């Protein structure tokens, strides 16, 4: 089993990256670090997708010399799908960062526990 | 309550007038809930005493939170370990890395893209042919996702007040001779490279997204070197909106045209042309330009909004 994992080490690395990102996302209380973890998870997904499309010993899908033979090139589809994923993750990251900036301007911290405490204290003061 | 616009709601929330966190009915602050958990029933307060109830509820919440804080990391590590072992097991079941006869790599679609892509789309770069011709709807949605994100960031961060610390940093940067000379040498090269990547997206590696990001980085560098006012002369909030919307509208209309013609078997004026020429591959070059414009504007817009609060 370890032998197989080493042979497809790119996919294994993607799984490990995913685990690292997921742990970062869940364990950190700082919003910025949570966003970093989410981005690591995204990267793991892209690595996995591109590694699925790779074929040993073939050229990238750019038909420079006009050879239109499917057995000469790697799979062009995962590249296009990863492009979509990258754009979406950039957008999500931007919106998350903007929301975090708003939270920081309101509570002057990015620590979720502190924000939670401040919110509760303010609610109790109002009562 | 009087009706407010979205911006007024946002302002009210920012100033703390609206509070979404006031606990509603059903929270474990009522004594019945707290007692039913059976935890420390002896210091249960008399139900009429409001302050005591609140103090008890806070203590209960703190104790719960402490317990949660102790268990949570252990659970996270356990769950992640289970997920990753499961996923690694799946990896061992996958076809070997780099093999050609997997279902994903030997399907009819892939063969069609590679063998007929050159004659059908005219793009030497098959990936560009796939994302801007066969799957152009996908890329249209992508551009709109980026545009929507830019709108959201604009709503959240647009402010008229000047930020004092960024002003001070800018004063230091604007006097820096090394920065200015480096900028004068580097920015045209980066811009040229970005334009090359956009224009040759159908002839080699590249395309609107990567080239647009490079052009956006050149704009950011320019803004850093010479101050955002100089960029604002060419790209202010109004021209930013107009440019991005025009690019998206052009993309949508061009794709409408080509889908209409393709579905009805009509002759289009955008033929594949001679593969390898700059002006070939039908609509792919103009679409790459539109996507590159959107991406460059959005990248610079993100930067300007996060640092200055305006474009």
What is the pLDDT at residue A16? Answer: 92
Q: Cα A38 to the chain's mean position, in Å?
A: 5
Residues shown for chain B: 311
What is the pLDDT at residue B72? Answer: 86
What is the pLDDT at residue A66? Answer: 67
**What does the H/E/C string look like for A70-110?**
HHHECCCHHHHHHHHHHHHHHHHHHHHHHHHHHHHHHHCCC
Residues of A whose CB is below 8 A from B139: 84
How far is residue A120's CA from residue B90's CA, in Å, rounded to a whole number?
A: 44
Assigned token pair, B170: 């800018």
Please compute the mean of the pLDDT values over residues B160-187 and round it to a whole number.
Answer: 75
What is the pLDDT at residue B41? Answer: 47
Query: Choosing among B50, B51, B81, B105, which should be mutated to test the A contact, i.e. which has the most A CBs within 10 A?
Result: B105
pLDDT above 80: residue B5: no
pLDDT above 60: residue B44: no
Assigned token pair, B102: 């997997």
What are the residue boundaries of the structural domains of chain B, listed by start? 25-97, 125-307
pLDDT band for B83, please (50, 70, 90 cuts): very high
CA–CA distance from B298 to each of A86, A104, B223, B303 (Å)? Answer: 14, 23, 14, 9
Residues of A whose CB is below 8 A from B92: 1, 4-5, 8
**What does the H/E/C string look like for B71-125?**
HHHHHHHHHHHHHHHHHHHHHHHCCCCCCCCCCCCCCHHHHHHHHHHHHHHCCCE
- Higher per-residue confidence, B169 vs A88: A88
- State whether B91 and A11 contact (CB < 8 Å): yes
Cβ atoms B161, B252 nearer than 8 A: no
Q: What is the pLDDT of residues B282-309, one digit of tens each?
A: 778 888 888 899 899 889 988 888 887 7
Q: How many other CB atoms are found less than 10 A from the CB of residue B91?
A: 21
Bridge partner list, A73:
A59
CB-based contact (8 Å) between B204 and chain A? yes
pLDDT above 80: residue B149: yes
Q: What is the pLDDT of residues B50-82, one digit of tens each?
A: 777 777 777 777 777 788 888 888 999 999 999
What is the pLDDT at residue B120? Answer: 76
What is the pLDDT at residue B71? Answer: 87
Please compute the mean of the pLDDT values over residues B241-247 and round it to a whole number.
Answer: 88
Task: Write out residues in chain A with pLDDT < 50, as ranges.
Answer: none
What is the pLDDT at residue B4? Answer: 66
Rounded to two decimals, the ipTM of the complex is 0.84
Task: Return residues 51-110 of B near A (CB < 8 Å).
Answer: 54, 58, 73, 76-77, 80-81, 83-84, 87-88, 91-92, 94, 96-100, 102, 104-105, 109-110
pLDDT band for B216, please (50, 70, 90 cuts): very high
Q: What is the mean pLDDT of chain B?
A: 78
What are the residue boundaries of the structural domains of chain A, listed by start? 2-126
pTM above 0.80, yes or no: no
pLDDT above 90: residue B22: no
Q: Burial of B257 by CB count in 10 Å (0-12 exposed, 13-18 middle, 19+ buried)?
A: middle
DSSP label at residue A69 = -
Residue B77 neighbours by CB under 8 Å, 6+ apart: A23
Q: Burial of B250 by CB count in 10 Å (0-12 exposed, 13-18 middle, 19+ buried)?
A: middle
Residues of A whose CB is below 8 A from B127: 61, 76, 79-80, 83
What is the pLDDT at residue A10? Answer: 87
Please compute the mean of the pLDDT values over residues B94-98 and round it to a whole number.
Answer: 82
Q: What is the pLDDT of residues B200-214, one digit of tens each?
A: 888 888 888 899 999
What is the pLDDT at residue B34? Answer: 42
Q: How many other CB atoms are found less than 10 A from the CB of residue B84?
A: 18
pLDDT above 60: residue B32: no
Q: Which of B99, B126, B157 sits opposite A76 (nearest CB)?
A: B126
What is the pLDDT at residue B138? Answer: 86
What is the pLDDT at residue B38? Answer: 45
Assigned token pair, B200: 């040759």
What is the pLDDT at residue A23? Answer: 92
pLDDT band for B36, please (50, 70, 90 cuts): very low
Please compute the mean of the pLDDT values over residues B167-185 and round it to a whole number.
Answer: 78
- State whether A56 and B98 contact (CB < 8 Å): yes
Among 1.10.287.3510, 3.40.50.11540, 1.10.240.10, 3.40.1110.10, what is the CATH number of A2-126?
A: 1.10.287.3510
- Higher per-residue confidence, B92 vs B35: B92
What is the pLDDT at residue A32? Answer: 92
- State whether A62 and B113 contact (CB < 8 Å): no
How far is residue B168's CA from residue B303's CA, in Å, rounded to a whole number?
A: 18
How far is residue B231's CA from residue B219's CA, in Å, rounded to a whole number?
A: 8
pLDDT above 90: residue B49: no
Determine which of A37-41, B13-17, B27-31, B274-278 has the lowest per-residue pLDDT on average: B27-31
């Amino acid at each position: 089993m370890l032998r197989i994992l080493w042979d497809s080490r790119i996919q294994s690395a993607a799984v490990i990256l995913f685990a690292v990102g997921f742990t970062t996302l869940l364990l950190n209380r700082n919003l910025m670090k949570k966003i970093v973890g989410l981005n690591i998870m995204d990267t793991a997904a892209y690595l996995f997708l591109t590694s699925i499309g790779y074929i040993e010993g073939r050229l990238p899908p750019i038909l420079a010399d006009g050879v239109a033979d499917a057995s000469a090139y790697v799979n062009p589809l995962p590249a296009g799908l990863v492009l979509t994923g990258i754009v979406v993750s950039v957008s999500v990251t931007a919106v998350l960062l903007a929301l975090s900036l708003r939270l920081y301007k309101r509570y002057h911290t990015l620590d979720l526990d502190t924000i939670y405490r401040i919110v509760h204290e303010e609610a109790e003061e109002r009562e | 309550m009087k009706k407010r616009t979205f911006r007024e709601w946002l302002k009210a929330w920012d100033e703390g007038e609206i509070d979404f966190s006031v606990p509603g009915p059903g929270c474990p602050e009522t004594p019945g809930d707290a007692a039913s958990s059976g935890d420390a029933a002896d210091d249960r307060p008399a139900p009429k005493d409001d302050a005591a109830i609140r103090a008890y509820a806070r203590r209960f919440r703190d104790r719960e939170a402490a317990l949660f804080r102790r268990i949570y990391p252990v659970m996270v590590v356990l769950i992640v370990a289970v997920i990753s072992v499961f996923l690694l097991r799946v990896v061992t079941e996958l076809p070997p890395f780099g093999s050609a006869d997997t279902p994903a790599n030997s399907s009819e679609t892939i063969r069609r893209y590679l063998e007929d892509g050159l004659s059908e789309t005219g793009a030497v770069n098959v990936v560009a042919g796939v994302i801007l011709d066969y799957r152009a709807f996908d890329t249209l949605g992508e551009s709109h996702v980026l545009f929507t994100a830019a709108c959201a960031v604009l709503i959240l961060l647009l402010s008229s007040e000047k930020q004092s610390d960024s002003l001070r940093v800018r004063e230091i940067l604007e006097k820096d001779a090394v920065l200015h000379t480096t900028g004068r040498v580097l920015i045209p090269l980066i811009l040229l490279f970005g334009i090359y990547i956009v224009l040759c997206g159908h002839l080699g590696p590249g395309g609107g997204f990567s080239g647009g990001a490079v052009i956006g980085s050149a704009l950011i560098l320019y803004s850093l070197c010479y101050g955002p006012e100089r960029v604002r002369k060419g790209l202010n909030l109004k021209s930013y909106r107009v440019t991005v919307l025009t690019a998206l509208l052009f993309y949508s209309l061009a794709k409408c045209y080509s889908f209409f013609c393709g579905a009805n078997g009509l002759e289009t004026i955008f033929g594949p042309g001679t593969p390898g020429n700059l002006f070939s591959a039908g609509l792919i070059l103009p679409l790459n330009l539109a996507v590159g414009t959107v991406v460059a504007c959005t990248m610079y817009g993100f930067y300007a909004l996060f640092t200055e609060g305006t474009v």
